[in-house]
């Protein structure tokens, strides 16, 4: 069968020929027909040839290029759902994106964006990543993005949020760390009914919430024998290690420099220290000194290999909610133990004026019995507990989402009455009226 066929006076292109033609697009790096994802690399301009394949593209990855503008007819990509333009040269968000009525996920991380024009984006946007740019303000029209669930703004120059943003009542995750806020955000933000994962460390006002800490033991880098890497996040790298003088096996967490997706790695370290000791947190043994390149580092107790991550991070479809292998199911006693441990850790953290900001199954390590360790303080924020309980109730909603995830995967045959009681607690934690949610101390009592 030939690639080109004549039918009804039209020239038809078979799939094989279409992909072959697509491969001739300048800066073409790959195309996945299953996901309909086109990848460009090294582009100095947006190749207009891409628009000839508008019906075949739902995901566009043009990250790590030299782009600074998009063509005026970019809206021909009518089926486009996801677009990545991170690490480019854009100085403003292209207004032509407003023509892409199906666009739900958009990333402009680490560009040079200083201007966000009014009505530049379609109301279909659910996930917007603008981390590490030069924005000093957001447009009032952001309030029209009523489907917005995830908004990443860490590492800009913002000092306020427009009041119109109060209309974004679907917003669940917000990062405004490492900006120029001199005072806490307005009260309306903390009354948004679905906001659960929030971080604002690394702002001028954040330093005012610092609390006294017990000094940590200092451990020289020269006393550590580093082993294999066991975990990595945007702000840290964790290794197995040995303290040479005692042969004690430990974990060493090295904090990266610069800006991570949730904020400054140094704030991650400060939050880890501020968390203090608790049976459902990984114990800090000491602080590293004399590290290569003067990087910050902590020595932690080594978590046994019997502990594994409770869940997997969100994907494009779930946006803010964790994912789990289809085959996973949990016993009710296991679920209860996990929830008791995480709730106890939450009560402890907020007792120290520390909001976790990223309470998720994928940030929780659990063993076979359900004993759990809550980790990853990359999005954590210190706050003044005397300012009220709104910050705690954001983490409580995240805890409610965790309850939902685990209870939805309980083994068949679990006692329905017990499940119903836990579901009732979950509903209370996810109450759309923020002030009516229980605090972690009440949750701990309910889970006894």
28 & 102 share domain: yes
- Using the 3D structure, point to which of 271, 301, 331 is the last residue of a domain: 301
Residue 215 — pLDDT band, cuts 50, 70, 90? confident
Angle at the Cα of 377 from the Cα atoms of 373 and 382, rounded to 5 degrees: 120
Of the two residues 338 and 209, the one the predictor is more confident about is: 338
The pLDDT value given to residue 19 = 76
Residue 10 — pLDDT band, cuts 50, 70, 90? very low
Helix axes 390-407, 416-429, angle to 10 degrees: 150
Provide the CATH number for the domain around residue 251: 3.30.200.20
409, 328 Cβ separation under 8 angstroms: yes
- Using the 3D structure, point to which of 192, 209, 226 is the last residue of a domain: 209
164 & 273 share domain: no
Put simply, whether the predicted model's pTM sits higher than 0.85 gets the answer yes
199 & 285 share domain: no
C-alpha–C-alpha distance, residues 190 and 388, integer Å: 11
pLDDT tens for 360-417 read 999 999 999 999 999 999 999 999 888 789 999 999 999 999 999 999 999 988 889 9
C-alpha–C-alpha distance, residues 238 and 297, integer Å: 10
Q: Which tokens go with 1?
A: 């069968």
392 & 290 share domain: no
Strands 381-382 and 354-355, by their bridges, are antiparallel
- Evaluated on CA atoms 260, 264, 270, 271, the torsion sign reads negative
Any long-range contacts for 54-58 (C-beta under 8 Å, 24+ apart)?
54/78, 54/79, 55/79, 56/18, 56/22, 56/31, 58/82
355 & 411 share domain: yes
C-alpha–C-alpha distance, residues 190 and 172, integer Å: 11
Calculate the alpha carbon distances from 189 to 9, 117, 197, 377 in Å. 59, 22, 12, 22
Of the two residues 442 and 208, the one the predictor is more confident about is: 442
Percent of the chain whose predicted confidence (pLDDT) is above 70: 94
Strands 354-355 and 297-301, by their bridges, are unpaired
Residue 294 — pLDDT band, cuts 50, 70, 90? confident
C-alpha–C-alpha distance, residues 166 and 194, integer Å: 12
Judge whether residue 159 has pLDDT over 50.
yes
Provide the CATH number for the domain around residue 412: 1.10.510.10
Q: How far, rounded to the nearest angstrom, does the alpha carbon of residue 443 sit from its chain's CA centroid?
A: 25
Report the DSSP beta bridge partners of residue 39.
30, 61
361 & 396 share domain: yes
266 & 325 share domain: no
181 & 251 share domain: no
The pLDDT value given to residue 14 = 52
Q: Which tokens go with 8?
A: 């009804």
Please give, one letter per residue, the 3-state secondary structure of the chain: CCCEEEECCEEEECHHHHHHHHCCCCCEEEEECCCCEEEECCCCCCCHHHHHHHHHCCEEECCCCCCCCCCCCHHHCCCCCEEECCCCCCCECCHHHHHCCCCCEEECCCCCCCECCCCCCCCCCCEEECCCCCCCCCCHHHHHCCCCCEEECCCCCCCCCCHHHHHCCCCCEEECCCCCCCCCCCHHHHCCCCCCEEECCCCCCHHHHCCCCCCCCEEEHHHEEEEEEEEECCCEEEEEEEECCCCEEEEEEEECCCCECCECHHHHHHHHHHCCCCCCCCCEEEEEECCHHHCCEEEEECCCCCCEECCECCCCCCCCCCECCCCCCECHHHHHHHHHHHHHHHHHHHHCCEECCCCCHHHEEECCCCCEEECCCCCCEECCHHHCCHHHHHHHHHHHHHHHHHHCCECCCCCHHHHHHHHHHHHHHCCCCHHHCCCHHHHHHHCC
Q: Which tokens go with 32?
A: 């996945």
Judge whether residue 301 has pLDDT over 60.
yes
Provide the CATH number for the domain around residue 46: 3.80.10.10
Mean pLDDT score of the chain, rounded to an integer? 92
C-alpha–C-alpha distance, residues 125 and 13, integer Å: 33
Q: How far, rounded to the nearest angstrom, does the alpha carbon of residue 198 sit from its chain's CA centroid?
A: 10
The pLDDT value given to residue 20 = 81
253 & 202 share domain: no
C-alpha–C-alpha distance, residues 407 and 329, integer Å: 9
291 & 315 share domain: no
Q: Which tokens go with 4?
A: 């080109």
- Using the 3D structure, point to which of 187, 209, 231 is the last residue of a domain: 209
391, 421 Cβ separation under 8 angstroms: no
273 & 316 share domain: no
Q: What is the largest CA-CA distance in the chain?
A: 83
236 & 348 share domain: no
- Evaluated on CA atoms 320, 322, 327, 330, the torsion sign reads negative
The pLDDT value given to residue 2 = 33
Q: Which domain holds residue 326?
A: 308-446
pLDDT tens for 302-332 read 999 999 999 999 998 999 999 999 999 999 9
C-alpha–C-alpha distance, residues 183 and 101, integer Å: 36
Of 124-138, 190-204, 224-238, 299-313, the range with the lowest mean pLDDT is: 224-238
Number of structural domains (the chain) is 3
Of the two residues 214 and 83, the one the predictor is more confident about is: 83
Judge whether residue 139 has pLDDT over 60.
yes
């Amino acid at each position: 069968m030939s690639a080109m066929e004549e039918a009804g006076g039209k020239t038809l292109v078979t799939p094989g020929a279409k992909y072959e033609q697509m491969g001739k697009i300048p800066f073409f790096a790959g195309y996945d027909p299953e996901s309909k994802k086109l990848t460009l690399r090294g582009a100095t301009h947006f190749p207009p040839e891409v628009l000839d394949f508008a019906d075949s593209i739902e995901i566009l990855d043009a990250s790590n290029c030299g782009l600074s503008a998009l063509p005026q007819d970019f809206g021909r990509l009518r089926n486009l759902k996801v677009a990545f333009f991170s690490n480019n040269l854009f100085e403003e968000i292209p207004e032509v994106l407003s023509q892409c009525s199906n666009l739900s996920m958009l990333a402009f991380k680490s560009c040079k964006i200083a201007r966000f024009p009014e009505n530049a984006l379609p109301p279909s946007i659910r996930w917007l990543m603008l981390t590490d740019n030069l924005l000093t303000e957001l447009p009032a029209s952001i309030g029209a993005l009523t489907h917005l669930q995830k908004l990443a703004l860490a590492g800009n120059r913002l000092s306020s949020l427009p009041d119109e943003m109060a209309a974004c009542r679907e917003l669940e995750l917000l990062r405004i760390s490492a900006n120029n806020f001199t005072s806490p955000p307005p009260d309306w933000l903390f009354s948004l009914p679905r906001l659960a994962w929030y971080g604002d460390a690394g702002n001028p006002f954040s330093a005012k919430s610092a609390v006294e800490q017990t000094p940590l033991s200092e451990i020289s880098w020269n006393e550590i024998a580093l082993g294999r890497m066991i975990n990595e996040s945007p702000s840290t790298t964790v290794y197995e290690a040995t303290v040479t003088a005692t042969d004690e096996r430990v974990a060493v967490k090295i904090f990266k420099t610069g800006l991570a997706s949730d904020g400054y790695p140094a704030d991650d370290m400060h939050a880890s220290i501020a968390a203090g000791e608790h049976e459902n947190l990984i114990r800090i043994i000491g602080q590293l000194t004399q590290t290569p390149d003067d990087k910050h580092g902590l020595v932690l107790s080594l978590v046994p290999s019997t502990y594994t991550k409770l869940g997997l991070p969100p994907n494009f479809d779930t946006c803010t909610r964790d994912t789990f292998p289809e085959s996973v199911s949990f016993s009710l006693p296991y679920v209860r133990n996990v929830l008791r441990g995480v709730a106890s850790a939450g009560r402890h953290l907020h007792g120290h004026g520390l909001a976790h900001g990223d309470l998720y199954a994928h940030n929780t390590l659990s063993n076979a019995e359900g004993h759990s360790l809550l980790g990853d303080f990359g999005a954590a924020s210190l706050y003044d507990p005397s300012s009220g309980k709104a910050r705690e109730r954001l983490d409580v909603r995240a805890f409610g989402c965790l309850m939902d995830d685990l209870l939805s995967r309980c083994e068949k045959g679990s006692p329905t009455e017990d499940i119903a009681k836990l579901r009732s607690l979950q509903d209370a934690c996810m109450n759309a009226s923020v002030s009516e949610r229980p605090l972690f101390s009440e949750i701990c009592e309910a889970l006894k």
